[in-house]
Amino acid sequence: MRKILALAIAMLMVVGLTSFASASEDPIKVGVCIYQFNDNFMTLYRTELQRYLEEKGAVVTVVDGKNDQAEQTNQINSFIAEGVDVLIINLVQASAADAVIPLVEAAGIPTVFINREPFVDDPSQWDNVWDKVCYVGADARQSGTFQGQLILNLPDQGDVNGNGAVDYVMIQGDMENVDAQYRTEFSIKALTDAGLTVNKLFEQRGEWDQAKGQELAATALAQFGDQIDVIFCNNDGMALGALQSIKAAGRTVGTDIYLVGVDALPEVVQLVESGEFTGTVLNDHIGQSHKAADVALELAGGATPEHTYTVDYVGVTPETMEYVKGVVGLE
């Protein structure tokens, strides 16, 4: 009996000591800079990023760059002054990396860039940047190619009006962003690589924004009407806007026009499933935010990261639908 009691006391002491040790350890402080809160995709991303980091015991502050690089640079300086352990930065301008990396390096604060691949003037410089800096993102070429394949998989391969060509409208994101550049290029490349003839009717920047997507689609529909076979949008936000204009113009997606986006916003996945939207591509904000958070916590603990971490896009097709619904929380 006495032995059992002694053992129990010893165990209690161990438990007591460990909980004391963990209670006395300061939580990791993470500063998160988002390019703009008013962005459908980045809202899903940042919400999950914060939830996951907090679940891991970190103390997290997330700030809104309001699409203004000067404002974001001030926010980075405030985080540095405050002494956060690690930064996660979704740059407003990819080209600001040249100015931001020296700031965080001088302060000795490891940094994970997310979503917008940092662009440095001299690419060899990015290879030689401070080794506590890395990028977590996705290869936008993949998303463009999947968009093209969604059109190729249609019975008429996107030629609704049967004139022998895919006549298309391209609504672009912010063109400083490689996501916008590659989606614009690789969606069409998938069609021409498959031997289709394409005809670009209209191409303009909607800056990732739903209201601008709606405006541009309305302009294109007014100008080109039935000539349009497909509206490609660099993201789902703009495609949701385009869908409103398509309906207002009396056209029906899947019957007399096609519409594709990228991101797999939950509402778009539902529209794809019900046939009101031709297709989208999963931009895996869960995979990306978890990767960014894990790497950030490792960096705060002293690790040296790899240069780049990429998370795969997934084309949303009948075969992948269940998987995608699981990822975006529709089940």
Q: Which residues bind ligand BGC (CB under 6 A)?
A: 39, 41-42, 115-116, 177, 179, 208, 235, 237, 262-263, 283
Which is closer to ligand BGC, CB of 132 or CB of 183? 183
- Least distance (Å) between residue 59 CB and ligand BGC: 25
Residue 35 CB, shortest distance to ligand BGC, in Å, is: 6
Q: Cα separation of 295 and 134, whole Å?
A: 9
Of 190 and 238, nearer to ligand BGC (C-beta) is 238
Position 64, amino acid: D
Burial of 331 (0-12, 13-18, 19+ CB in 10 A): exposed
Q: How far is the CB of 280 from ligand BGC (least distance, A)?
A: 10
Give the pair of three-digit tokens for residue 125: 């410089």
User: How many CB atoms within 10 Å of residue 214?
Assistant: 22
Minimum distance between the CB of residue 236 and ligand BGC, rounded to whole angstroms?
A: 7
Of residues 245 and 283, the one with the C-beta less far from ligand BGC = 283
Number of C-beta neighbours around residue 5 at 10 A: 9
d(CA 324, CA 164): 33
Going by C-alpha positions, the residue among 8, 56, 2 that lies closest to residue 29 is 56
Packed helices 140-152 and 178-193: angle between N→C axes, nearest 10 degrees? 40
Nearest to 227 by CA among 204, 201, 252: 201
Please state the closest distance from residue 165 (CB atom) to ligand BGC, in A.
27
Closest C-alpha to 150, from 259, 257, 44: 259
- For ligand BGC, give the closer residue by CB, 148 or 237: 237
Neighbouring residues of 166: CB distance < 8 A, sequence distance ≥ 6: 151, 157, 158, 159, 191, 196, 197, 198, 199, 229, 230
Which residue number, 132 or 288, has a Cβ lying nearer to ligand BGC?
288
- Position 156: which residue type? D
Q: Is 245 exposed, middle or buried (0-12, 13-18, 19+ CB in 10 A)?
A: buried
Q: Which is nearer to ligand BGC, 148 or 297 (CB)?
A: 148
258 vs 313 by CB, closer to ligand BGC = 313
Nearest-approach distance from CB 244 to ligand BGC, in angstroms:
17
The distance of Cα 241 from the centroid of its chain, to the nearest Å, equals 18
Q: Which of 213, 189, 191, 192 is nearest to 202 (CA)?
A: 213
Q: Smallest distance from the beta carbon of 100 to ligand BGC, in angstroms? A: 16
Smallest separation (angstroms) from ligand BGC to the CB of 263: 5
- Our CB check for ligand BGC shows the closer of 262 and 295 to be 262
Residue owning tokens 């963990």: 22
Nearer residue to ligand BGC within complex by CB, 72 or 159: 72
- The distance of closest approach from Cβ of residue 70 to ligand BGC in the complex, given in angstroms and rounded to an integer, is 18
